[in-house]
């Protein structure tokens, strides 16, 4: 009677022996396919989040727009997971790269940030581009605001011409949107072409530009521009009268007047959803990333021209990008028209910012 037992025991052993290799063969491959699923899911969910939140700066296929670096480069893919997670979670100080982690005031959980890291390391950018197009989120084309050759050559012929041309270029790119194309100020910033200013010692003006003026739109520029650029721009302030005397044509930040039509407002709304919603929230109600625009206080106190200037020039030193070099006049007008169209129904007081 022991034989059948033994056979059973042997059979059991054989069966176990037979199964173990199968298991030990199966287990890693199950792990592998789970891991693969995990990666695929991370890449797929991040693709949509990328389309909604990152393409306006990094481009539909990660190519980078304007001064924003590309993400589809080998250099970025080779960055350590830790470094990638850090830059996405915390952003980079003094650049437009915002902190995206909820605990840093952003909108993503830590696991979403981890997914972004996997996404950047593994993304198939052709797929991402197709998905961005499918979602209708391809960002508008970059339009550079340039100072004409003619203007530069008339400056170059003046004494210290090299500094002046450098100063004018820096001014046109960074300051004109607020201080005005001809230096005589706008609704949101004082004139740069000012006798009072020229009466101030140079070091004081440089210090002002370096440090900004707290609590105003005048940001601290010392980490955004080089000291040479700031120096050249301040020189330009002292020489403004000389420039006018040469008959130099100043860069124009053109503000054509387009009457607000339903089409313009609709175009503005569509553009808002692509370029602004990720920070300013659905219908401009605000988010932890940026203040509400859909509120009586802001809309009443800010004339159209000022809204236009803020959108074109950005708010330096904050996450608010300058859109003037990537949106054309029509686009900017459409955004103003869309924001203005919300005035009749806008909440009277600032709605609480989500997450605070």
Q: Which stretches of the chain bind ligand HEC, using CB under 6 A?
A: 53-54, 56-58, 68-69, 71, 76, 84, 87-88, 92, 95-98, 100, 116, 120, 174-175, 177-179, 188-190, 192, 194, 197, 205, 208-209, 213, 216-218, 221, 233, 275-276, 278-280, 289-291, 293, 298, 307, 310-311, 313, 315-316, 318-321, 323, 335
Length of the chain measured in residues: 356
Q: Which is nearer to ligand HEC, 53 or 333 (CB)?
A: 53
- Shortest distance in whole angstroms from residue 165 CB to ligand HEC: 15
Task: Annotate 76-134 with DSSP letters as a single string.
Answer: HHTS-HHHHHHHHHH--TTSS----BGGGTSSB-HHHHHHHHHHHHH--HHHHHHHHHH
- Shortest distance in whole angstroms from residue 58 CB to ligand HEC: 5
Q: Which is nearer to ligand HEC, 87 or 118 (CB)?
A: 87
How many whole angstroms separate alpha carbon 306 and alpha carbon 173?
Answer: 18
- Half-sphere exposure of residue 194, counting CA atoms within 13 Å on the CB side? 13
- Shortest distance in whole angstroms from residue 36 CB to ligand HEC: 22
Q: In terms of Cα–Cα distance, which of 324, 39, 294 is closest to 174?
A: 324
- Shortest distance in whole angstroms from residue 252 CB to ligand HEC: 16
- Local structure of residue 343 (DSSP, 8 states): G
How many whole angstroms separate alpha carbon 201 and alpha carbon 203?
Answer: 6
Q: Which is nearer to ligand HEC, 179 or 239 (CB)?
A: 179
Any idea what the Cα angle at residue 130 is, between residues 126 and 136, rounded to 5°?
145
What does the block give as tokens for 256?
């054509």
- Shortest distance in whole angstroms from residue 313 CB to ligand HEC: 5
Which residues, in sequence order, are CB contacts of 340 under 8 Å at separation 6+? 260, 299, 304, 307
Q: Which is nearer to ligand HEC, 13 or 216 (CB)?
A: 216
Q: Which is nearer to ligand HEC, 215 or 247 (CB)?
A: 215
Q: Which is nearer to ligand HEC, 7 or 86 (CB)?
A: 86
- Shortest distance in whole angstroms from residue 25 CB to ligand HEC: 38
Give the number of other Cβ atoms within 10 Å of residue 11's Cβ.
11
What does the block give as tokens for 74?
């080998």
Q: Which is nearer to ligand HEC, 163 or 278 (CB)?
A: 278
- Shortest distance in whole angstroms from residue 224 CB to ligand HEC: 8
- CA 136 vs CA 55, 92, 273, 334: distances in Å: 11, 28, 10, 18
- Shortest distance in whole angstroms from residue 261 CB to ligand HEC: 18
What does the block give as tokens for 95?
């650049």
Q: Which is nearer to ligand HEC, 265 or 307 (CB)?
A: 307
Helix (H, G, I), strand (E, B) or coil at 173: helix
Q: In terms of Cα–Cα distance, which of 96, 323, 316, 338 is closest to 217?
A: 316
Query: How would you class 221 by CB atoms within 10 Å of its CB: exposed for 0-12, middle for 13-18, buried for 19 or more?
Result: buried
- Shortest distance in whole angstroms from residue 288 CB to ligand HEC: 10
């Amino acid at each position: 009677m022991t034989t059948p037992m033994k056979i059973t025991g042997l059979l059991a052993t054989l069966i176990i022996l037979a199964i173990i290799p199968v298991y030990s063969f199966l287990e890693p491959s199950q792990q592998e396919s789970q891991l693969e699923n995990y990666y695929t899911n991370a890449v797929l969910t991040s693709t949509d989040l990328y389309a909604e939140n990152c393409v306006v700066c990094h481009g539909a296929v990660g190519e980078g727009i304007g001064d924003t670096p590309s993400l589809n480069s080998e250099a970025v893919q080779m960055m350590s997971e830790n470094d990638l997670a850090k830059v996405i979670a915390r952003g980079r100080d003094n650049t437009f790269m915002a902190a995206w982690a909820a605990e840093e005031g952003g909108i993503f959980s830590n696991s979403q940030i981890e997914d972004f890291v996997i996404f950047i390391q593994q993304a198939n950018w052709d797929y991402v581009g197709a998905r961005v197009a499918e979602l209708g989120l391809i960002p508008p084309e970059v339009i550079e605001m340039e100072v004409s050759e003619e203007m530069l050559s008339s400056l170059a012929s003046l004494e210290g011409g090299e500094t002046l041309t450098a100063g004018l270029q820096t001014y046109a790119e960074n300051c004109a949107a607020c201080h005005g194309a001809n230096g005589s100020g706008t609704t949101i910033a004082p004139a740069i072409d000012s006798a009072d200013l020229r009466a101030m010692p140079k070091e004081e003006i440089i210090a002002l530009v370096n440090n900004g003026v707290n609590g105003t739109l005048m940001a601290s520029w010392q980490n955004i521009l080089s000291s040479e650029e700031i120096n050249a721009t301040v020189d330009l302030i002292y020489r403004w009268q000389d420039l006018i005397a040469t008959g130099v044509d100043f860069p124009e930040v053109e503000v054509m007047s387009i009457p607000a039509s339903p089409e313009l407002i609709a175009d503005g709304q569509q553009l808002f959803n692509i370029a602004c919603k990720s920070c300013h929230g659905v219908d401009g109600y605000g988010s932890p990333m940026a203040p509400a625009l859909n509120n009586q206080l802001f809309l009443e106190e800010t004339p159209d021209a000022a809204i236009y200037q803020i959108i074109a020039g950005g708010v330096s030193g904050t996450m608010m990008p300058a859109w003037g070099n990537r949106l054309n006049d029509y686009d900017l007008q459409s955004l103003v028209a869309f924001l203005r169209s919300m005035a009749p129904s806008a909440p009277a007081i600032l709605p609480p910012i989500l997450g605070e």
